[in-house]
Amino acid sequence: MKIERQVDQIINENVTAIAAGDESVESILARYPKIEAELRPRLEAAILLQQARYSVATRPGFIHDSRKYLETKIVSMPPRYSWQRIIMRYTPQRWVFNLIAPVIVLLMLALVVNSTLLTARLSIPGDPLFSTKLLIEDIQLAFTLNQVDKTNLQMQQTQERTLEFVELVMEGDYDYLPAAAGRMEAEIIASLHALNTVSMNSPGVELTMVAKLSDTLTNEIQMLNMLKATSPNSAHAGINLAIQVARSGVLALH
């Protein structure tokens, strides 16, 4: 038997007798010499509580008198079922607040998410939200199942990369040019693959798309050549790389 259980049992069996004077602490302890050290303090504490019980007893007549009062009072207070308690717990203002608060929170959340997405869409390489922009584009591509739509989206993303490159040159962020040219190349290759797939599945549809992408790349080459003339030498390597990538794209389209 666990010591806690044994001590509890001894206390239960003897505390009343000790409090009444029929037994003494020492006589009980003499019966359990092995656990005396454990038992003594607890037995003494239990006796104190037993004796103190009378100091917290109700005053004479309280239960009888208060019973009458309680019975009178509950006549006008029917028991309430759970749904009644829920309704009564809330005032009309509380109900309105409970309904409006989540709506406001949702609206604010939507506003924050929307602002973040918009800021991400306008970001260029080097901005904190640029990776979010790339992630959103990947998600859009993953959820576009129609091949023609997918190709259009791919081409839009290629155009976005060319615009980003121009913006980087205009803003003087030359450090990001090689990486941006690399991303542009990857997008052009992906667009060419997509166009190839469309031409095999639905011949004729791809012609407009090819012309559009060709225009985009040609414009990019012209724009970059103009910017190169006004840019410092440190930017030339990156710009040349982008021009080369765009030219390769135009050649591939032809």
Partner 1 sequence: MPGRQDKDYELIKKAQHGDHSAFGDLYENHAPSIFRYLYAHLDNQMDAEDLTGEVFLKAWQSLPKYTERGVPFLAFLFRIARNTLVDHYRQNNRQESKDPEEMDGYRAEGNPEPVDVIGSQIEHQKLLRLLQKLRPDYQTVLTLRFISELSPEETSQVMKRSVGAIRVLQHRALADLRKEMDKVS
Helix H or strand E encompassing 80 = none
Contact track, partner 1, 12-51, x by CB under 8 A: ---x-------------------------xx-xxx-xxxx
What proportions of the chain, in percent to the nearest 5, are helix, strand and coil? Answer: 85, 0, 15
Q: Would you say 29 and 11 are in contact if contact means Cβ atoms under 8 Å apart?
A: no
Write out the DSSP string of 98-116.
Answer: HHHHHHHHHHHHHHHHHHH
Q: Which of 165, 158, 155, 159 is nearest to 124 (CA)?
A: 165
Count of residues in contact with partner 1, rule CB under 8 A: 45
Shortest distance in whole angstroms from residue 41 CB to partner 1: 4
Q: Which of 75, 142, 145, 251 binds partner 1 (CB under 8 A)?
A: 75
| Residue with smaller CB distance to partner 1, 24 or 114 | 24
58 vs 233, beta carbon nearer partner 1: 58
Nearer to partner 1, 85 or 193 (CB): 85
The 3-state DSSP class for residue 2 equals: coil
81 near partner 1 (CB under 8 A): yes
Q: How far apart are CA 196 and CA 217, in angstroms?
A: 17
One DSSP character per residue, 237-251 reads HHHHHHHHHHHHHHH
In the complex with partner 1, the residue whose CB is nearer, 54 or 143, is: 54
82 binds partner 1 (CB under 8 A): yes
User: Are 220 and 194 a contacting pair, CB within 8 Å?
Assistant: no
Segment interacting with partner 1 (CB under 8 A) among 24-32, 57-65, 116-124, 240-248 = 57-65
Task: Report the half-sphere exposure of 10 (CA within 13 A, side-chain side).
Answer: 26
Q: How far is the CB of 38 from partner 1 (least distance, A)?
A: 8
Cα–Cα distance for residue pair 237/233, rounded to 1 Å: 8
Nearer to partner 1, 56 or 145 (CB): 56
Q: Does 54 bind partner 1 (CB under 8 A)?
A: yes
Q: Near partner 1 by CB under 8 A, which window of 63-71, 171-179, 192-200, 219-227? A: 63-71
Chain residues in the site for partner 1 (CB under 8 A) = 2-5, 7-8, 11, 15, 41-42, 44-46, 48-64, 66-67, 69-71, 73-75, 77-82, 85
